[in-house]
Amino acid sequence: MKAPTIWIGLAALAGAIVLGIASGPVPIPFSKTLNTLLWAAGVPVNAHPSPEEAVILLKLRLPRVLKAALIGGGLAVCGVWMQAAFRNPLADPALLGVSAGGGLFAVISLSLGLTFAGAWTTPIVAALGGWSASVFVLAVGRVRREDQLLVLLLAGLAVNAMAGALISLILLHTREIEGIRAILFWLAGNLEVRNWTEVGVLATFVLAGTAPALFAGRAMNLLLLGDDEARSLGLPVRRFRIALLGMNGLVAGAAVAFSGIIGFVGLMVPHMVRGVVGADHRRLLPASFTGGAILLILADWISRTLVRPFDVRVGVIMALLGGPAFLLLLLRQKGVRA
């Protein structure tokens, strides 16, 4: 990646973070926000922030923005993985049912009140759901090898429908109204943060899941040439694909456990980023992580500021942005028969 591209990407990310932190019910000017962030990072600054500002910016808003960045980056990388694994630029964890699988398992875990691993419980259970859905979609794709795009999207549709129905069933039988509301709120995209532990657990899942993939960029490139080509170039395709989908289930599942179902990040970001840095995964993966982080911080900012004080959920914003984008991609898609 050319040096300027990296710096532009990081500058845009920093800009999005500052924007995300500066805006909220109590407006705080950019200069003060920046000042506070630098102060918190230990940089000597002229004016110390007031205690209220420090609490609002660092305790309330910063964790939320970081959470949005981790979820967005993680989901974008998931999109890249799935597109490579299925050799299809229209793959996305939400479209292919991985998020719904994670969501269903997370709802089960929450409604049963599972706590076998403390704060880690729901993400672990959701990862299992993500894996189950991946295995299902992969298996359907293996049975019918022709018209892969259509088969994958329809398999995803089936998983989404089944998981959706079971989630409704669980909600209908949840006794307290508040419990239902909480689950609905979370499913529609939840970037609220209760404490820093939550951000820490999320960061562990997302970073531990995505970091190893950064070293597999060259191998992922081969996968895009086709199974025979990749194997004749020395890639153990079957094992590699399973490993990719495994990491995908882990990260997408964890993302759902923390933030509900946020679609289209994995679809839109890699597509836009490819236009800038090309298809090489060694550039595409880090650039997509950055792009996903920026996109979700901005989507969260829109969801919080669009109709104040009414909170349009971030999942809704992403669906409204992503739906048309997906249709556009589908209609412009060349080289793949549906």
Site membership for other proteins, residue 76 (CB under 8 A): no
Stretch that binds other proteins, among 4-12, 162-170, 215-223, 296-304 (CB under 8 A): 215-223
> 199 or 269: whose CB is closer to other proteins?
269
Select the residue interacting with other proteins from 20, 49, 73, 89 (CB under 8 A): 89
Q: Give backbone dihedrals phi and psi of 50, rounded to 5 degrees, phi first.
A: -70, 155
Site membership for other proteins, residue 338 (CB under 8 A): no
Report in angstroms how near the CB of residue 253 gets to other proteins at its nearest.
Answer: 26
Report in angstroms how near the CB of residue 220 gets to other proteins at its nearest.
Answer: 10
Q: Residue 252 in contact with residue 80, Cβ under 8 Å?
A: no
Q: Which of residues 230-249 bind other proteins (CB under 8 A)?
A: 231-236
Site membership for other proteins, residue 229 (CB under 8 A): yes
Q: Spell out a b/e string for 125-162, using b for 16 or more CB atoms within 10 Å of the CB, else e.
A: bbbbbbbbbbebbbebbeeeeeebbebbbebbeebbeb
Query: What span, in angstroms and rounded, lies between the C-alpha atoms of 232 and 213?
Result: 22
222: which 2 tokens?
Answer: 């081969």
Q: Residue 314 in contact with residue 191, Cβ under 8 Å?
A: yes
How many chain residues touch other proteins (CB under 8 A)? Answer: 28
Query: What span, in angstroms and rounded, lies between the C-alpha atoms of 35 and 45?
Result: 7
Integer-rounded Cα Rg, in Å, for the chain is 20
> 104 or 284: whose CB is closer to other proteins?
284
Which residues make Cβ contacts (< 8 Å) with residue 208, sequence separation at least 6? none
Report in angstroms how near the CB of residue 111 gets to other proteins at its nearest.
Answer: 41
Stretch that binds other proteins, among 36-44, 96-104, 123-131, 212-220 (CB under 8 A): 212-220
Select the residue interacting with other proteins from 104, 222, 251, 273 (CB under 8 A): 222
Read out DSSP for 290-333?
Answer: HHHHHHHHHHHHHHHHTBTTB---HHHHHHHHHHHHHHHHHHH-
332: which 2 tokens?
Answer: 């412009």
With vertex at residue 329, the alpha carbon angle to CA 323 and CA 334, rounded to the nearest 5 degrees, is 155
Report in angstroms how near the CB of residue 258 gets to other proteins at its nearest.
Answer: 30
Site membership for other proteins, residue 329 (CB under 8 A): no
Site membership for other proteins, residue 87 (CB under 8 A): yes
> 273 or 296: whose CB is closer to other proteins?
273
Residues of this chain that interact with other proteins (CB under 8 A) are: 87-89, 215-216, 218-219, 221-222, 224-226, 228-229, 231-236, 274, 278-280, 282, 334-336
